[in-house]
Every structure is written in structure tokens, then in C-alpha cells.
Amino acid sequence: MVVDDEPIARDIIISHIANTPGLILVKSCMNASEAYEGLYQHPVDLIFLDIQMPVITGVDFLRSLRNPPLVVFTTAYEHYAIEGFELNSVDYLLKPITYDRFHQAMQKINDRFAYKNSLVIPPTPIVPQVDYIFIKMDTKLVRVNHEQINYIQAEKDYSSVYLDNKRLFASMHLKLFEELLPKDRFLRVHRSFLVNLSKIKTIQGNMIELEGKELPIGANYKEELFRTLGIA
């Protein structure tokens, strides 16, 4: 996957990919929002990721992924190199990116893949966990802290995100929220509802009570809910 808000920079990398045996371009994205959707639809092994992008930077995007693929950062600014390598990126390419430099990065990528596929189990990259999510609302992305979310309801073409004092209409499917939010804090309790477990007040029969709201528990979700909450 290529993620870059500059069309020329994207085209250069796409051209390098086309000229490199063993690489298949799955998705080209102009921002992090498109990349979230792309990862949901097409799991990838490698991302060429621009750092300086509007709304969500490449660094924040990588930090938000629970199980990130290999990443090669691309940027026009050399001073981001240290932060990039601290996030365990494979390489750091300065624009404009020549094919020779791209080829050098590919050698590092191949070494990393060889290591991952060897009998020795590599250490899991340490990526700082974040406590927020960016919610797509029409043409903008809104940052919402995990603790603000009470529950999320699936609608026909969008999702409703219920906070303590307001409701947000998100241009995102419930399944995508389920993928992006931490599973130890948010759980699907019904085909139409994803709940913040810390907001549950009581459980009675097949109903969950939150602050001033009752939600149904789907028959196919009850066992996992009880197991997650440690209820016998």
C-alpha cells in the first residue's frame, strides 16, 4: 500500500513498485482515512507511508494500528528520521525518491521478511498505544478519546457514535470500528451495537444498561460478553 497526499510522490513510488519483481500494489491512498478503509478491505504486508499528511500524520496513523505491517516512511524532511526509526520502520526514504534508493530499501525489506519467516520468532515491534480514534464525518476527521465513547450503533449507510452528551454521525461501518478500537475495551454485543465495556452499569436478562440507556444482547454475542467480563 502507498499512502501519500502528494500525487506526484505517489506516482513515483507506484512506478518503482511496478518495476520491482515481487511487489504487488494493493491500494494507493491520499490520506490516513483512505488507508484505514484500505487495510480493512485488503490486508497488506508493507506500507510506503508519508509522514506529513493533513489531519492524521503518518506517525499517528502507524501508532493507531494494533498489528501494523512493515512500514517504510517517505518524507521530504530529514528531521523526522529518528521518530520513524523509533517506531521500528524498515527504512526512511527522502523525497524525491530515486529507484536506486528504493532498491536499497527493498533489500532491507527482504531481510526483514526473511527474518520473520525464519524459525527464529522475531520480537514484536513496540508501537506506543493510543487512547483515541479518528472518526470520519463527511469530509473531515474528528478525534475522539476512547473513554468518551459509550456505544456505537450501526445505521444503514453510517454509524452513530454516542458520547456522554452528544451523537456523532460517522461515515464508517460498525465493522471498521470493531477493527480499530481495542478489543479489551470495546465489544460487539449485538449485530447493531458495539459497547464500551467500562460503561456497562447492569446486565439483566438479554439487556445491558448503560448510563440512561438500555441495549439488547444478541444471542450469538452473549457467551463472549460474559467470558470477557469474567461472568460464570
CATH class for the region spanning 2-116: alpha beta
Q: What is the structure's pLDDT at 187?
A: 94
Backbone angles phi, psi at 112, to 5 degrees: -65, -40
pLDDT band at 129 (very low <50, low <70, confident <90, very high): low
Contacts of 125 (CB under 8 A, 6+ apart): 68, 87, 88
Give tens-digit pLDDT for 54-108. 889 898 899 898 888 999 999 887 765 556 556 778 888 988 899 889 999 998 8
Long-range residue pairs from 147-150, CB within 8 A, at least 24 positions apart, any chain: 147/196, 147/198, 149/181, 149/186, 149/196, 150/195, 150/196, 150/199, 150/210, 150/211, 150/213
Share of the chain above pLDDT 70, in %: 89
Segment 148-159, tens digit of pLDDT: 999 999 998 889
What's the pLDDT band for 204 if we cut at 50, 70, 90? very high
Q: State mean pLDDT over 174-200.
A: 91
State CA 225 to chain mean position distance: 24
- 77 compared with 222, residue with greater pLDDT: 222
Give the start-to-end residue ranges of the domains of the chain: 2-116, 132-229
How much is the pTM? 0.53
* Cell numbers for 50: 508519508
Q: Which residue, chain included where needed, has cell 493533513?
A: 54
Residues 28-48, mean pLDDT to the nearest whole number: 91
Is the model more confident about 179 or about 70? 70
pLDDT-derived band at 115 (thresholds 50, 70, 90) equals low
Average pLDDT value for the chain:
86
Instruction: Assess if CATH 2.40.50.1020 describes domain 132-229.
Output: yes
DSSP code per residue over the chain: -EE-S-HHHHHHHHHHHHTSTT-----EESSHHHHHHHHHHS--SEEEEES--SSS-HHHHHHH-SS--EEEEEES-GGGHHHHHHTT-SEEEESS--HHHHHHHHHHHHHHHHHHTSSSPPPPP-----SEEEEEETTEEEEEEGGGEEEEEE-SSSEEEEESS-EEEESS-HHHHHHHS-TTTEEEEETTEEEEGGG--EEETTEEEETTEEEE--TTTHHHHHHHHT--
214 burial type by CB count under 10 A (0-12 exposed, 13-18 middle, 19+ buried): exposed
